Amino acid sequence: MLLLLTVFALPTVFGQLQFGIKGGIVSSSSTLDEQISISSQLQNEENISYDELKMKAQDSKVGFQAGFFGRISLAALYVQPELMFTSTSSKIQVKEITEGEDPVSKVRNQEFKRLDIPIMVGWKFGPARLQAGPVGTIMLDQQSALEAAGNYKEEFNGATWGYQVGVGLDLLNTLTLDAKYEGSLSKLGDQVTIGDKPFDIDNRPNQFVVTVGLFF
């Protein structure tokens, strides 16, 4: 946020300052692939019948993104901060494994609503652009795939960091198109609670973003 304020407070340093709105689609997925062994003590205390819990990310799902952006240009170099509301979801397979019995498997949705704040730095080649930069994410609301499954739930971090890389195209000084890949630099979730006992996991998201923007 300090970087955003500094950039917009010194527009005379740069050759051109533009603002606009943009929106598009997001295809998100997770790298979650964890197996947790349940102790006999926890089974007795919490009435949990399974011996192991297997969680695995499934196919990506399409969400949407909308918000505002600014662009400060100096010749071919530019900085583009954005403030985007993003709604995404993904599928998680939850499998309860009990020795001597067939596993019980269910596929559930987990949904996220968040604010994404990318700060892209790029280089223009005529109407085409190359860009990369960090993105901060603030979680507004979430629905875990595990909370609906009964006696366990996943804990999500309120804020995370990632990065974006991609390409862009500007048309007629009015429209701007972007296609970006977003990877994670921190965990989306790092803990699952079964009964009242926490277990460490590594849940890292990634996504593809395609947006169309309109300069004011």
Tokens 């990065």, residue located? 163
To the nearest whole percent, how much of the chain has pLDDT over 90?
Answer: 32
pLDDT of residue 201: 64
Instruction: Name 185's Cβ contacts closer than 8 Å, sequence gap at least 6.
Output: 134, 160, 161, 162, 163
- Per-residue pLDDT of 129-151, as tens digits, reads 999 999 988 888 877 656 655 56
Q: What is the pLDDT of residues 145-191, one digit of tens each?
A: 566 555 666 666 677 888 999 999 999 889 999 999 988 877 666 66
| Span 2-215 CATH architecture | Beta Barrel (2.40)
Contact between 146 and 92 (Cβ < 8 Å): yes
